Amino acid sequence: MIEIRNLKKSFGDLLVWEDVSFDIEDGETVAIIGRSGCGKSVLVKHLNALMYPDSGEVIIDGENVFDLEYVALRKMRQRFGVLFQGSALFDSLNTFENIAFPLRYFTDYSEGDITKKVEEALGLVNLEGTGEKSPAELSGGMRRRVALARATILEPDFLIYDEPTSGLDPRTSSEINKLIISMAENLNITSIVVTHDIHSVLEIAEKVVFLENQGMCWYGTVGEMRKSDNKELMDFITASEYQIRN
């Protein structure tokens, strides 16, 4: 379980958000939504202490991640898989090596076991036979899927998706959404999804955190979101639907 308590973050004089508090239960999928630039990606980078807040806590299974020493922090980070917005695949490695990378450094698997695991992971994201391709030879959607295979190869407890469908066509977006659902179900992973795509939220999420006005404006289940009378949240959802219709 991840408990976020009274987080506040600013860059110099610019306040990003403050007083952000919510819980993420084991096995659930939480979407963090909000307009561009509201600090969604900044917020999730606090979950595994890639960024530190001005104040507040992120407690994972009873431990505040910001209090951890670097060695313990690195161990904790291994419990997370992260799918970055731009995929963040290593340019110098091919698809196979990108996925095998964490296995080579963090496990004692033999070369045969690594090959088997990577092929399984490629199969899971429907990319069989692409191991030899370099990241530059892959489309945007394929890169996301390779990054997803890499993020899940060590079987993490938590998986962070930073804008997993942004810049993708609707069909590829839908494929990625299905993958997120199947990852959560098959691997029993707790998922945190940063997005501004309200249709993705309705498809994949159980709970929603809405960031607006430099803080957490709304937090609840998807069912509650549909009935909510929160003006900012409704404006955000309506704007998304309007964009799709036009």
Partner 1 sequence: MEALEKLGKYSLLLYRSLRSLYEVDTYKKNLVNELLKIGYESVPIVLLTGVFTGAVMTIQTAYQLEIAFVPISIIGAITSESLLIELAAVITSLVLAGKVGARIATELGTMRVSEQIDALESMGFNSVSFLVLPRVLAGLIMFPMLYIFASISGIVGGIVAGAISGAIPPAEFIQGARQFFYPWDVTFGILKAFVFGYVITSVSCFKGYYASGGAEGVGNSTTQATVLSCIYVLLADFVLAAVFL
Residue owning tokens 């990319």: 127
CB under 8 A: which stretch of 12-20, 21-29, 88-96, 196-204 binds partner 1? 88-96
Instruction: Name which of residues 18 to 47 contact partner 1 (CB under 8 A).
Output: 45
User: Binding of partner 1 at residue 158 (CB under 8 A)?
Assistant: no
- Measured from the CB of residue 111, what is the shortest distance to partner 1 in angstroms? 15
User: Binding of partner 1 at residue 85 (CB under 8 A)?
Assistant: yes
Q: How many residues bind partner 1 (CB under 8 A)?
A: 22
- Per-position x/- string for 117-136, each x denoting binding to partner 1 as judged by CB under 8 A, each - no binding: --------------------
Integer Cα distance of 67 and 216 in angstroms? 24
User: Binding of partner 1 at residue 75 (CB under 8 A)?
Assistant: yes
- Measured from the CB of residue 155, what is the shortest distance to partner 1 in angstroms? 13
Integer Cα distance of 129 and 145 in angstroms? 13
CB under 8 A: which stretch of 102-110, 113-121, 123-131, 214-222 binds partner 1? 102-110
Determine which residue in the list 1, 54, 61, 106 makes contact with partner 1, applying CB under 8 A.
106
User: Binding of partner 1 at residue 222 (CB under 8 A)?
Assistant: no
User: Binding of partner 1 at residue 91 (CB under 8 A)?
Assistant: yes
Binding residues for partner 1, per CB under 8 A?
Answer: 45, 48, 50, 70, 74-75, 77-78, 80, 82, 84-86, 88-91, 101-102, 105-106, 154
